[in-house]
Amino acid sequence: MRNLFTALKQDTHANHDILENTFPFSIYHKDSLFDEKAYLAILKIMSMFHQASANAVQQAEFEVPALAAVASMINSGVIQDALNRDIIALTRDSLTEDTHATGTYTDQAYKDTHHNKPSMPYSSSPTSQAISAIYVWLGSSMGANIIVRRLNAMERDIPTNYYQAMAGCAKAWVSFKQEVEKLLPELDLENESFVADAVKDANAWFEYLISLADAEMHNNTSQAVEIS
């Protein structure tokens, strides 16, 4: 049987590359001037991803309490709060009155500007969906420190609460892998079938992020056409 994390790394590589080269995430490959609209788009996309994946993890933990140890590693409350603060800081003049009042960038706020919200990712099972969601979540935190340093070096008032919080999540990466490798035999999931399910679900999470990026770009293009 292939090691779960080896399989995840190898078999999600293609979607990982697609995501990194999809606008607005592709801006991190450039050393050009800061693009505030693209940065805001990234934060909105990640807000949707974190909401969806945190919900999936919470549901799986409810059904399989043994997942509690890995579920806590995403630190979802801190991450979402950091996202909310950054999004509000960047959009304080355009957010709705309700969003200002609550201080929260909600799913409804996304729906108000995105009429074709991507569907939720495919799920093989609650456990594989949760573990794959945490894999993508923590994996995306690996470069957070680098992004914070790059943004701070631009000598502009760029809010970086989200990436600072994600840098904290990155510290859980090794513990996450160790905990999952200990957990799988306890749940009788140390088999090729579960590895295949987790890979499918991880790819579904990457595809969900790509679809959110595509929807954000389509929405921005539509707004530009309406303005012109």
Question: Is 68 inside a domain boundary?
Answer: yes
Calculate mean pLDDT across residues 74-91.
Answer: 96
Question: Is 149 inside a domain boundary?
Answer: yes
* Helix, strand, or coil (residue 191): coil
CATH code assigned at 143: 1.20.910.10
Question: Is 22 inside a domain boundary?
Answer: no
CA angle 127, 132, 135 (to 5 degrees): 130
Residue 178's Cβ-count burial label (10 Å; 0-12, 13-18, 19+) is: exposed
pLDDT tens for residues 102-127?
444 444 444 444 446 677 776 879 99
Question: Is 151 inside a domain boundary?
Answer: yes
Q: What is the residue range of 187's domain?
A: 35-103+118-227
Question: Is 27 inside a domain boundary?
Answer: no
pLDDT tens for residues 135-166?
999 999 999 999 999 898 887 889 999 999 99
Whether the CB-CB separation of 213 and 19 falls below 8 Å is answered with yes
Question: Is 29 inside a domain boundary?
Answer: no
Domain count, the chain: 1
Query: What's the pLDDT at 109?
Result: 45
Whether the CB-CB separation of 39 and 24 falls below 8 Å is answered with yes
Question: Is 24 inside a domain boundary?
Answer: no
Which of 69, 103, 66 minimizes the C-alpha distance to 87?
Answer: 103
Q: What whole-number distance in Å separates Cα of residue 188 and Cα of residue 173?
A: 23
Question: Is 112 inside a domain boundary?
Answer: no
